[in-house]
Amino acid sequence: MSITVSLEDLTAQLEQLEAEAARAIAAAADAAALEQLRVGLLGKKGKLSAVLGAMGKLPGPDRPVIGQRANVLKELVSRLLAERLGAVKAAALAERIAAESLDVTAPCRHVPPGHRHPLISTIEEIVDIFSGLGYRMSEGPEIETDYYNFTALNIPEHHPARDMQDTFYLEDGRLLRTHTSPVQIRYLENNPPPVRVIAPGRVYRRDAVDATHSPVFHQVEVLAIDEGLDFTHLRGTVTAFLQQFFGDLPVRFRASYFPFTEPSAEVDVQWRGRWLEVMGCGMVDPAVLTGMGLDPERWSGFAAGLGVERFCMVRHGIDDIRRLYTSDLRFLEQF
């Protein structure tokens, strides 16, 4: 049984399709909805193709009429889709601009810029000076063994010098290092002389907290091992460093004692009219060199150590070491 299709039927379908397309396109909310409409109306399996598929059942003279009407509808739908897509994109852009716009009349929220803590700045300056003198930086663990912290530095068990560096011990016998000298021992184990190394880092001692003492503080230690080094090289290095850090000030060396250097000296600078002790130094004890497997007849060296907090306090006129650890912005913002 064949179904007859008339010119009037297809014309009415095209007019109805045009009205439905206009309403749907006008209501489309975004580009995705418009694309879905385009496929549903103009695609190979769309509604317009379905109408044109029935055109073959029309008498020959009527087919051009429906074909022309279908082309007009296709052009109209394409134009409506393009116009609506432009309007949707413009609305989306306007909404985005409104959401991302800045209200220049609103009060500002000030976030102050960060800066280096005075201790960090002091460490970096010290490291920079020694780097310019040809030294390289080395670091090591803060939890150490008795060997590296004491024995290898000529401080055997029950040595009186251990009382000066009483520290915190762990249950397994390890301890919190009392100086950064263990870094030098570890470095020498893996790097044969000649060596020139500095070791900055945090150290610990069981000191009572007061204006000049803290159980946690920072050190920078210096070590040079080479053939023919003597006390004049030590004196020249220390003097050059101190005058770069503090300026062209008088420097003096006083005889002292350290278990891992011989001879040893304390170093003072004349700061604002009075002598201030700032560091200790000395020639590496031959016993330390022998313990590291080095021939003291061939190799000699010197070592020096300083407390970073001391340098920072002298430089900036800080009267209490505790100010460096209280995180008081009123204090820190001065730097």
| 250 within a domain of the structure (yes/no) | yes
> Residue 224 sits in a domain of what CATH number?
3.30.930.10
Mean pLDDT of 34-46: 78
| 31 within a domain of the structure (yes/no) | yes
The beta strands (E) that lie in 129-179 are given as 136-137, 143-144, 175-176
Percentage of the chain exceeding pLDDT 70: 93
The predicted structure's pLDDT at residue 164:
64
For 37-51, 72-86, 247-261, which range has the lowest pLDDT when averaged over its residues?
37-51
Q: Please tell me the distance from the alpha carbon of residue 313 to that of residue 217, in angstroms, as a whole number.
A: 13
Q: Look at residues 160, 29, 15, 16 and name the one whose alpha carbon lies nearest to residue 85.
A: 29
Is the pLDDT at 10 greater than 80, yes or no?
A: no
For 215-255, give the DSSP string: SEEEEEEEEEEETT--HHHHHHHHHHHHHHHH-S--EEEEE
On the 0-12 / 13-18 / 19+ scale of CB atoms within 10 A, 46 is middle
Is the pLDDT at 117 greater than 50, yes or no?
A: yes
The predicted structure's pLDDT at residue 68:
77
CA distances from 140 to 19, 125, 183 (A): 81, 20, 5
Q: Please tell me the distance from the alpha carbon of residue 313 to that of residue 188, in angstroms, as a whole number.
A: 32
The predicted structure's pLDDT at residue 1:
38
Q: How many CB atoms lie within 10 A of CB 83?
A: 12
Mean pLDDT of 65-91: 81
Q: Look at residues 196, 213, 148 and name the one whose alpha carbon lies nearest to residue 176.
A: 148
Q: Last residue of a domain, which of 74, 100, 126?
A: 100
133-184 pLDDT per residue, tens: 999 999 999 999 989 988 888 787 776 666 666 778 888 889 999 999 999 9
SS3 326: coil
> How many structural domains is the chain composed of?
2
CA distances from 287 to 232, 262, 296 (A): 21, 10, 8
Q: Which amino acid would we find at residue 186?
A: R
Q: Look at residues 77, 30, 90, 27 and name the one whose alpha carbon lies nearest to residue 51.
A: 77
Mean pLDDT of 70-93: 83
Q: Please tell me the distance from the alpha carbon of residue 72 to that of residue 200, in angstroms, as a whole number.
A: 84
Q: How many CB atoms lie within 10 A of CB 91?
A: 12
CA atoms within 13 A on the CB side of 226: 13
For 77-81, 107-111, 273-277, 281-285, which range has the lowest pLDDT when averaged over its residues?
107-111
Shared domain for 134 and 182, answered yes or no, is yes
C-beta separation of 268 from 278 below 8 A: yes
Shared domain for 122 and 58, answered yes or no, is no
Shared domain for 137 and 46, answered yes or no, is no
Query: Which domain range does residue 175 map to?
Result: 118-332
Shared domain for 208 and 244, answered yes or no, is yes
The predicted structure's pLDDT at residue 109:
79
Shared domain for 313 and 286, answered yes or no, is yes
Q: What angle do CA 32, 100, 95 make, to 5 degrees?
A: 40
CA dihedral 161, 163, 168, 174 (to 10 degrees): 40
The predicted structure's pLDDT at residue 77:
80
Please state the pTM of the whole predicted model.
0.64
Q: Look at residues 86, 67, 72, 70 and name the one whose alpha carbon lies nearest to residue 25.
A: 86
18 or 201, higher pLDDT: 201
Shared domain for 167 and 299, answered yes or no, is yes
Residue with tokens 């006083």: 254
Shared domain for 94 and 136, answered yes or no, is no
Q: Is the peptide bond before 64 cis (omega within 30 degrees of 0)?
A: no
Is the pLDDT at 128 greater than 90, yes or no?
A: yes
Shared domain for 59 and 163, answered yes or no, is no
Shared domain for 168 and 315, answered yes or no, is yes
294-330 pLDDT per residue, tens: 999 999 999 999 999 999 998 888 888 988 888 888 8
The predicted structure's pLDDT at residue 330:
85
Which residue stretches of the chain are H helix?
7-27, 31-42, 47-53, 63-100, 118-132, 146-149, 181-190, 231-246, 286-291, 308-316, 329-332
261-300 pLDDT per residue, tens: 999 999 999 988 889 999 999 999 999 999 989 999 999 9
Shared domain for 201 and 300, answered yes or no, is yes
Mean pLDDT of 47-71: 71
Q: Please tell me the distance from the alpha carbon of residue 255 to that of residue 168, in angstroms, as a whole number.
A: 30
Q: Which amino acid would we find at residue 309?
A: E
